[in-house]
Every structure is written in structure tokens, then in C-alpha cells.
Amino acid sequence: MPERLDPVDVVTVGAGWTGGIVAKELAEDGKQVVSIERGRDRSPDDYLTMHNELRYALRYEMFQDLSKGTLTFRLDPDEEALPMRQLGSFLPGKGVGGAGVHWNGQTWRFLPYDFQIRSKTLDRYGPEKIPDDMLLQDWGITYEELRPYYREFEKMAGISGNAGNIEGNIQDEGNPFEGPRKIDYPTEAMITTPVLERFMDAAASQGNHPFMAPSANLSEPYTNPDGVARGPCQYCGYCERFGCEWGAKADPTVTVLPVAEETGNFELRTHCDVRRLQYDEQQGRVTGVKYVDTRDNTVYIQPAETVALTAYALWNVKLLLLSGIGEPYDPENPEDSGNVGKNYCYQNFGGSATGFFDDEEWNLYMGAGALGAAADDWNGNNFDHTDLDFIHGGNIAITQTGKRPIANNASPPDLDRSWGSEFKRASLKYHNSSVGISAQGAVMPHRTNYLDLDPNYTDQWGDPLLRMTFNWTENDRKLAEFEGERCAEIMEAMNPTKMQHSKKVEGQNENYDIRPYQSTHNTGGAIMGPDSDISVVNSYLQCWDAENLFIPGASAFAHNSGYNPTGTVGALAYRAADGMKQYFKRPRMLD
């Protein structure tokens, strides 16, 4: 029998960005908060030995152990899904801080267009622009409503950048296409290196509006409103797949979690795997969580007044399905089925260009995860799609993240192999003389892209694995082709000796390939919306089927934009925490 523990006010299932933000906000509000994390505890002291590319970047030390829990994958609902045995296309984290420890720090606000995408697309182009099998919908919230929560996340993390739009006044050095903001970024933009300046000059010569990208790698010393002081980035080049021992990269273990702990109202339980949310369907409430302490396999029931489901996006959906909360989505009957698992989306990096420069060399081994420059001219609805057969677009950027030697061996297109003496000479020659431009394309929801439980395969506890059904659509393919041409135009203006460019989505025969890494930007499955007919949560990330359950995170995205998701994940977490505070004052469905 499970051991029943004393009740608490709040349980968070996971202690990453969303769990950390909710824990800090509610603990400061005087609530007793328990965060349950299946990985181990971590702090900057653990990151001191992480400058080991083989161990961390290639052998995935910080990521999930797929021998204990994985997912199954198929391209089409008619196929049988098979388990993912090796990490590839995306890298879910493990341990305290989650993906917020090993991320790059690229931090964006989604465009105002994104939150009202269906309405704005219909208004500008008419109903024929949206294919019947594209399940496009508004998010149930506007950019203006989310704007203060974006600001709160940026101030907490100390985001570095240049504002482009302050209350409608376009600023020279920022992104002129961004939604309006009240004030500038908390810290100045990162340094403009020679290769970033080269990109910006080339992009401007093509009529684009380049700017330094916003970054969670601090450009200068900063103390946030919670009193957390952090030092500036050292440009060491070890951000993605690594923790920052310096604390310059914002992550939950150096920002929100220590503040939560200082309140005395917070408890972190590590090595504990939540298997179910305790759900009372008659009452429309959750009563707590059931979890296993994996150190001795003891099973516990933790009662709670409220629960925040703050695991990784995919695992949020799995826990909802396992716990019987909400009705599963059925692609054969999308209009009359449930919404749990619907609108799974990813990120489209099909458009890119690489240049090789014979007579120039940059110090590309130095860098930071979010050190980059970008142009938003071909993102969202910033350009006219009337004569184009796709919607949305992508953020076009160049990044100088640090060229570590094992994973970076670019060779020019006329060298038709990746081994041998000729390849070795070329990879050495171009290690600091080749750069890439890529478009981070949006992905729209499709009727047959979704998440559900697999009927054949189980995890270490005997529970069904999550099953992912996903493939690129015509919108993805056309978007990649268009954005690839834009990348090539900018690269040509950078005047390389040789170049190659891609305008196809990642995969064989233009089908999605789950094996090569692309991004850890999995979204959807527990989406937000204006009502329960088309969504799982409301604008406060409150579950329609369980009023005391809040589900922030990328699982709430109704589609994926042309940006990294973390800024929006953070804003939604602050919004959810605000909703939970309101709920404690007067329990109800919020509006």
C-alpha cells in the first residue's frame, strides 16, 4: 500500500523553469510547496567539470535514460510505432532545473500574431488560406495580456538585448517587428563579434532589419528583483548540453529555486517519479499525486490543495493520459473527440545556408549559447503571404555558440565524403572559417500529428509509453523552401568563397527523421484556448477538467512559432502562478 503523507498546499511535478517559477511565487505567497523531481539535485558546483564535450555533448550525460522511460514514434496513424532507443531529434533533460540547465539561453517573445493566429490569418487572407486538416486556433490570450508576464520572466532572468518596440516607438538597434514592450531589456545586448557584424551588414544590404538576438547569457553583472546576483558571460562556448558553472546563463538552479528555498515554505524531493495524478472526476479536482522514490521503490501519495503539472511538455501529456484527466484526441474524429494529445508540433530548421571563407578566420571556438544576430522580416505574418502556399515563417539567425572540436567538422560542398585525409584537411582549414545561417521555422498543427498512449510498449513501471505520431506537412515543406532561399540570399551577400544551402525539411524523402538532432522544442498536447471544446487549459493554464490543476509549459502551445519556446514558457509559468494565487483566494474556474 502507498504511504499517505501529510497534505500540502501545492505540488509541482518537476523542478525546471515552470516548476521553479510556480514554486517560488507560491512559496513567497506563504503556501507550503513540494516539488517532486525524478532526477538528482544540481547546482553550479556540479557544472565545474562539464567542459567535457564527449561526456556531455555526445554521450548525453544530462539527458533522459531511455532504457527506463522513452516514447514510441511513427510517421502516420496507419503505422505501428516503435520505441525510441537512442536520443536523437530532441533531448529531454533529467535532474533539477530540467532543460533549463542545458539550454542555450535564446529567449524570445512570440509575435502578437501567434496568439490570435487563426483570427488574424482569416482577417488578412480569408478561409481558403487555412487547409482543412490544419487545426489552427487562437490561444485564448492576447500578446497584450501576456506582456507583463514576459517582462517578469525577462527581469528575473536578466535577459540581455536591445528593445525594438517600446510602446509603439520603433528603436534603431532592436527588432522592429516585435510586439510592443514597456521598457528595454534588463541588460545590454551581448558583444557584436566580427562574424555577427558581417551577417548584419549582409542582411541589411538585402533589405532586412537585423539586430542582436536576446540572450539569457548575461552581458554584464546583474542583480534581479529577487536579489539574485550573477556575473557576466565569459564566452567559453559551453552552453547547450552543459550547465554554466559561472551562473551567467540563467537557469532555475541559480534563479528561482534558491529563492523558493529561502522562504522556508519549499521542499524539493529528488529521485522521485510521479506516476499518476490523483483525480476525482465527480468533483472535477485533483487530490494529489502518486509517486515512487526510485532509491528504494517506496510508493507515496502526496495530497495537495493544488497541483502544477510542470514536467517536460511530452511528459505533461503522458501524465494526463495515464491519470484519465480529459478526453484523448482522436484524429479520425477531431471535431467530436477530446483534446488531450492534440496539436503536437515541433520546429522546422529545413531552411539554412553555410558559407566557407578561404581568406578569413574568426575565433569561432569562443561564443555563448545565445550569442547571435537575427532578422525577423520573414517570420510570422511580417510579410505578405497572399501568393505563397504556406502560412507563418521563421526567424533567420546566425549564432556563435562556440565551435567545439568533435561535433564541428564542416567541409565544403565539393568534398563528397566525411572521412579520410582530404576531409581532415578541409575540416581543419574551415573550423574557424565556416559559418551557418538558419531559419527557425514555425510548425502548424495538423490533424494526424498528435500524442497518445502506445498499446504495445511500457516503461519501467509497466505503464504505457507515450506514442508520438508526427510528420512534416506541405506547409512545413513550402516554408522550408522559402526560408532556405532567404538564408542563401543573405549568405551570398556575406561573400563566401563557397557555399551550400538547404531548403528541405530534415529527413529522408522529406519525411521527418527522429534520429538526427534538430531541436528540443516539442510543443502541444495540452493546449490552451478560449473554451473546453478546443483546448485542455484556459488562459491561466488551469485545466478545464480539474479546476485545481494548472499545466504551464510548452505543452500548452496551440502551435509552435518561429522562435525558441523558453521565453513564452516562462511567461506562461508566471501567468499560471498568478492564476493559482487567485484560486487560493477564491476557488473557481478563472476567466
Respond yes or no: is residue 431 known to be catalytic.
Answer: no
Catalytic site residue from 102, 392, 446, 521? 521
What 75-80 contacts at long range (C-beta under 8 Å, 24+ apart), as own/partner pairs, is 75/469, 75/470, 75/471, 75/511, 75/512, 76/448, 76/469, 76/471, 77/331, 77/332, 77/448, 77/469, 80/456
**Taken in order 44, 49, 53, 54, is the CA torsion positive or negative?**
negative
CB distance 447 to 135 below 8 Å: yes
Which grid coordinates belong to 129? Answer: 488560406
CB distance 360 to 491 below 8 Å: no
Rounded-to-integer distance, Cα 477 and Cα 389, Å? 10
How far is C-alpha 488 from the chain's CA centre? 26
Q: What is the DSSP string of 25-44?
A: HHHHTT--EEEE-SS----G
Rounded-to-integer distance, Cα 585 and Cα 550, Å? 15
**In whole angstroms, how far apart are CA 346 and each of 41, 478, 588?**
29, 16, 33
- Residue appearing with cell numbers 540547465: 101
SS3 521: coil
Rounded-to-integer distance, Cα 176 and Cα 342, Å? 33
The dihedrals phi and psi of 45, each to the nearest 5 degrees, come to: -60, -30
Q: Could you tell me which residues come within 8 angstroms of residue 49 by beta carbon, excluding any fewer than 6 positions away? A: none
| Residues annotated as part of the active site | 521
